[in-house]
Amino acid sequence: MDFFFLWLKITFLLLSRFLFLQIDHFGFDENLTFQQRYLVADQHWKKDNGPILFYTGNEGDITWFCNNTGFMWDVAEELNAMLVFAEHRYYGESLPFGNESFSDSKHLNYLTSEQALADFAVLIEYLKMTIPGARYSPVIAIGGSYGGMLAAWFRMKYPHVVVGALAASAPIWQFGDLVPCGAYFSIVTDDFKKSGTGCSESIRNSWNAINRLSSTDAGLQWLSNTFHLCSPLKSLQDAAVLKNWLSETWVNLAMVNYPYKADFLQPLPAWPIQEVCKFLKDPSLSDKLLLQNVFQAVNLYYNYSGQASCLDMSETATKNLGQLGWYYQACTEMVMPMCTDGINDMFEPQKWDFDALSEECYRLWGVRPRPSWILSMYGGKNISSHSNIVFSNGGLDPWSAGGVTQNITDSLVAIVIPDGAHHLDLRSRNPLDPKSVQQARALEICYMKQWIEKARHNH
Amino acid sequence: MDFFFLWLKITFLLLSRFLFLQIDHFGFDENLTFQQRYLVADQHWKKDNGPILFYTGNEGDITWFCNNTGFMWDVAEELNAMLVFAEHRYYGESLPFGNESFSDSKHLNYLTSEQALADFAVLIEYLKMTIPGARYSPVIAIGGSYGGMLAAWFRMKYPHVVVGALAASAPIWQFGDLVPCGAYFSIVTDDFKKSGTGCSESIRNSWNAINRLSSTDAGLQWLSNTFHLCSPLKSLQDAAVLKNWLSETWVNLAMVNYPYKADFLQPLPAWPIQEVCKFLKDPSLSDKLLLQNVFQAVNLYYNYSGQASCLDMSETATKNLGQLGWYYQACTEMVMPMCTDGINDMFEPQKWDFDALSEECYRLWGVRPRPSWILSMYGGKNISSHSNIVFSNGGLDPWSAGGVTQNITDSLVAIVIPDGAHHLDLRSRNPLDPKSVQQARALEICYMKQWIEKARHNH
């Protein structure tokens, strides 16, 4: 990754900049500003109003998204486009109150999608006013995951700022009762089911094996040793943490089940679920043998480099993601109902429990989630009056459960990539890319060209 | 007016209700709610998803707007529509913090157009969920003046909530440098110019007459007596107040220059500017004679009923308008540049002075206006990707200077009513209505029917 980043810097002269923005766009009492970071690469940009591809940063350090969105770099030359990567407030270096940003609910009060979209709008207007030759540049929003939701919502709410949006793996319908709460984990399960005989069944059986072992101190000790845990398990509650950690690991593997060696959430081999499933062929093994295999499987995810001396349950993915900020967002606007039943999925059954979430959020942050607000704000499934949004989804990606996978209108278009995991299409071209993602990218570029052409024509 | 209101209550069973809404839709730190008032009349509503005409309340008591929007009452039966009039937060009885609402910038922090639109969206969703038979009712936003801006912006930002909007006399372009700052006062001047020979010239000459007289104590005394002022003028500054008050009076007359006797801002005769101009035929009179005529003219505006013992310069219009709230809004989001040059208009030359406004706002409220925010938020002139908005404008109305007076697309339509003052089309049908307003209303109804029909079809 570092090498790739260096390469970008050399080839594209990536510039890191900051702009002062209002901390509160929607109120006038506090007139404070903060510095939002954004990255610009204009090597391929055609000066007289060539297009701008604008990455709507999501919950993490923007340089990391910049490194993992090779698609934009790949098409910059073809579109004569400037690339801009805007960091989302409260992540990376764009902290409204510096080290105090997460100190309490007062300081966190401005961490919302609406404020982030307003940041993007003001930034783009600033760029168009200050960069010579950019005044009439058509801007296209691009984002993946939460960034994809932001890209779609940005086009919906600020169509005067962006002529279109590519929303990759954006689960804009994972809210309220728009989709079944179990669909997400059922896709994870399918990924494992088709990656090896006995695989999903082994995982399904592992939960009770852990339950049985964690009922005794000796069992807890055995689990701690077997899983090479940095902090040993001491109680049944710790065993629940272990199970959550394992669940998250399977979910993450489903998200990054890419067809080639990659380092997104963790460094991993090609088709990592197939690799993991090689350890999980026999679901009928005894508890201890089964769980030793489960360890081999998760060890592949956490320790592919072989450097970890122990496994730390407090981290499941790259540190570039801003966990704290995202937890707050999940406790306020981003309430995404999820559930498992152990039948259609390989997880322990767990109902969606909004009240428990609300209590937890109040305990952690002193805030209560508002589960219907996102629907009121962004329209739920009733979005047909908008235009120029491409929603791309990976068939292997659990987030496709809440994504737009069927065309809504001629200009609200869904692209499904059957062999794709989480926003595979946003990654750099790779010789091992399946045909489906190549076609998806070609179609995405085709739509982008249409939007640019139309904007030129209108101007 | 009272009689009309009573009549409405009897005929339509107007119900006044309240709904608890978030004080801050855009932040989660304060989880407080307030009671928003809204009025419902459903006598003509067809229960199985008949349409809802939704008045997006502006800066005043909602019952007053309800009384002055007879058009909605007139078409309710034809459209089988329910009428809902929603009060704007911080006006009428919808005060988020009761008597404390205007106490300081902290309490005023939630008085923005964005919060008001969110109120409307949540209210409509609540009505659709709770009124039996309303679940799939198409909703049309209707508003006049600032309420018209809200109606248009509501359709732009929440097209999933309203299928279309009638924005009457909505100066959505009276911001930034979208229109010349002098256009507004130049329309006022034209109204006077064509309403009587010598009329606008008399007013133009009056300013220097006042300036000359107010240079001495005796002159100030004479002015106070002549204008029957409740508080006598004591200084040159007071004379400036007098001139502002007179200017506002001429502006208000231009807004309510209706073709029949009416009581909107004040009780007035038909075509009040013509009446006023009967006193202002000779611009070449001496200062004192000219100003005595000016008094006769303003006295017609302030004292048509003949009951006022003196004229109070602190009030220029009905008390139903929430002046305090609107001043705050003009000091934050609603920054509308205005200027005069004394050549294209009949006023004393005055440049647009943003810095002075900003200082005044800081002194009054401790806030600074953000003149470009409305443009960033609502798109300025770049709104062609939206749909289903009718912008109606009166040719006599100064606010038409900042209005949309030409079609933007097939479904962003401008209607101009040459003989109309400020949202004449929203008033009740009247035998003295000019043909132009009758046609405008017919076209508005036609568009509303189309929107309803299309919504039915889509559903």
* Alpha carbon distance A73, A428 (integer Å): 8
| Contact yes or no for B287/B209 (Cβ under 8 A) | yes
Of the residues A101, A145, A200, A247, only one is catalytic, namely: A145
Single residue among A297, A321, A355 that ends a domain in this structure: A355
Contact A159 B112 (CB under 8 A): no
Q: Are residues A443 and A328 in the same domain?
A: no
Which one from B191, B238, B345, B397 is the annotated catalytic residue?
A: B397
Answer yes or no: B397 catalytic.
yes
Does B54 have pLDDT greater than 80?
Answer: yes
Buried b (16+ CB within 10 A) or exposed e, B15-37: eeeebebbbbbbbbbeeeebebb
Residue B89 pLDDT class (50, 70, 90 cuts): very high
Contact yes or no for A200/A399 (Cβ under 8 A): no
Q: Choose the mutation target among B139, B140, B385 for the interface with A, i.e. most A CBs under 10 Å.
A: B385
- Nearest CB to B105; choose among A28, A115, A122: A28
Cβ pair A458:B384 closer than 8 A = yes
pLDDT in tens, A197-241: 999 999 999 999 999 999 999 999 999 999 999 999 999 999 999
Q: What is the CATH number of the domain that holds A317?
A: 1.20.120.980
Beta-carbon-side half-sphere exposure of residue A303 (alpha carbons within 13 Å): 16
CATH number of the CATH domain containing A69: 3.40.50.1820
Domain that holds residue A138: 14-173+381-458
In a domain, B325, yes or no: yes
Same domain, A229 and A342: yes
- What is the tens place of the pLDDT at every residue in B131-188? 999 999 999 999 999 999 999 999 999 999 999 999 999 999 999 999 999 999 999 9
Whether B384 sits inside 8 A of A106 (CB atoms) is no
Task: Encode pLDDT of B399-428 as tens digits.
Answer: 999 999 999 999 999 999 999 999 999 999
Q: Among A227, A239, A367, which residue's Cα sits nearest to residue A292? A: A227
Percentage of chain B modeled with pLDDT above 90: 90
Place of tokens 């992540």: A91
- Residue B1: the pLDDT is 40
Rounded to the nearest angstrom, the minimum Cα separation between B28 and chain A is: 6
ipTM (interface pTM): 0.93
Question: In this model, does residue B32 exceed pLDDT 80?
Answer: yes
Helix axes A199-213, A236-255, angle to 10 degrees: 160
Is residue A288 domain-shared with residue A211, that is, in the same domain? yes
Residues A95 and A217 in one domain: no
Q: What is the pLDDT of residues B244-303, one digit of tens each?
A: 999 999 999 999 999 999 998 889 999 999 999 999 999 999 999 999 999 999 999 999
Task: Confirm whether B366 is domain-assigned.
Answer: no
Quick: pLDDT tens for A380-414: 999 999 999 999 999 999 999 999 999 999 999 99
Sheet holding B412-417, edge to edge: B15-22, B33-41, B82-86, B52-56, B139-144, B164-168, B389-394, B412-417
In chain A, how many H helices and how many E strands? 16, 10
Integer CA distances (angstroms), B406 to A299, A312, B242, B391, in order: 66, 64, 37, 9
Question: Are A96 and A34 contacting, i.e. CB atoms less than 8 angstroms apart?
Answer: yes
A:B CB pairs within 8 Å: 96
Of A28, A112, A159, the CB nearest to B332: A28
Number of domains in chain A: 2
**Pair (A236, A319) in one structural domain:** yes
Which is nearest to B21 in space by CA: B85, B82, B90? B90
- Does B141 map to a domain? yes
pLDDT at A264: 87
Q: What is the mean pLDDT of residues B431-455?
A: 97
Q: Name the residue with tokens 């908005």.
A: B389
B11 has pLDDT over 80: no
Q: What does the pLDDT profile of chain A (459 residues) look like in tens digits? A: 444 554 554 455 789 999 999 999 999 998 999 999 999 999 999 988 899 999 999 999 999 999 999 999 999 999 999 999 999 999 999 999 999 999 999 999 999 999 999 999 999 999 999 999 999 999 999 999 999 999 999 999 999 999 999 999 999 999 999 999 999 999 999 999 999 999 999 999 999 999 999 999 999 999 999 999 999 999 999 999 999 999 999 999 999 999 999 998 889 999 999 999 999 999 999 999 999 999 999 999 999 888 889 999 987 777 777 789 999 999 999 999 999 999 999 999 999 999 999 999 999 999 999 999 999 999 999 999 999 999 999 999 999 999 999 999 999 999 999 999 999 999 999 999 999 999 999 999 999 999 999 998 887
For residue range B98-123, list pLDDT tens digits in order: 999 999 999 999 999 999 999 999 99
Minimal CA–CA distance to B82: which of B160, B1, B184, B13? Answer: B13
Is residue B5 a part of any domain in this protein? no
**3 state DSSP class of B15:** strand
Which residue of chain A has the CA closest to B125?
Answer: A376
pLDDT of res. A84? 98
Same domain, A53 and A149: yes
Q: Give tens-digit pLDDT for B378-400.
A: 999 999 999 999 999 999 999 99
Same domain, B195 and B320: yes
How far from B382 is each of B166, B357, B379, CA to CA, in Å? 19, 27, 5
Q: Are residues B23 and B40 in the same domain?
A: yes
Q: Do A109 and B25 touch (CB under 8 A)?
A: no
d(CA B448, CA B142): 10
Whether B341 is catalytic is no
Contacts 24+ apart (CB under 8 A), B302-309: B302/B249, B302/B266, B304/B266, B304/B267, B304/B268, B304/B269, B305/B267, B308/B228, B309/B228
Q: How far A302 CA lies from chain B's nearest CA (Å)? A: 36
Catalytic residue of the set B88, B386, B422, B423: B422
Q: Answer yes or no: do A28 and B380 touch at CB < 8 A.
A: no
Q: What is the pLDDT of residue A1?
A: 40
Residue A157: which of B157, B373, B380 has the nearest Cβ?
B157
One of A61, A190, A238, A397 is an active-site residue; which one? A397
| B308 assigned to some structural domain | yes
Contact A25 B121 (CB under 8 A): no
For residue B26, list chain A residues with Cβ-Cβ distance below 8 A.
26-27, 112, 114-115
**pLDDT at site A14:** 86
Contact: B109, A384; criterion CB under 8 Å = no
Cβ separation B28–A157 shorter than 8 A = no
Going A291 to A296 to A297 to A302, the CA torsion angle's sign is: positive
Kindly state whether residue B360 falls inside one of the protein's structural domains.
no
What is the C-alpha R_g of chain B? 22
SS3 A95: coil
Task: Name the pTM for this structure.
Answer: 0.95
Same domain, A154 and A208: no
Q: Is B174 helix (H, G, I), strand (E, B) or coil?
A: coil
The whole-angstrom separation of Cα A169 and Cα A420 is 10
Name every chain B residue with its beta carbon within 8 A of the beta carbon of A124. none
Please state, for a pLDDT cut of 70, what percent of chain B lies above it. 97
- Residues A57-113 have pLDDT tens digits of 999 999 999 999 999 999 999 999 999 999 999 999 999 999 999 999 999 999 999
Residue A435 located in a structural domain: yes
pLDDT score of A8: 52
Active-site residue A423, yes or no? no
Same-domain check for residues A450 and A421:
yes
Question: Is A376 inside a domain boundary?
Answer: no
In this structure, the answer to whether residues A343 and A409 fall within a common structural domain is no
List, in sequence order, every beta strand (DSSP E) within B375-425. 389-394, 412-417
One domain, residues B169 and B187 = no
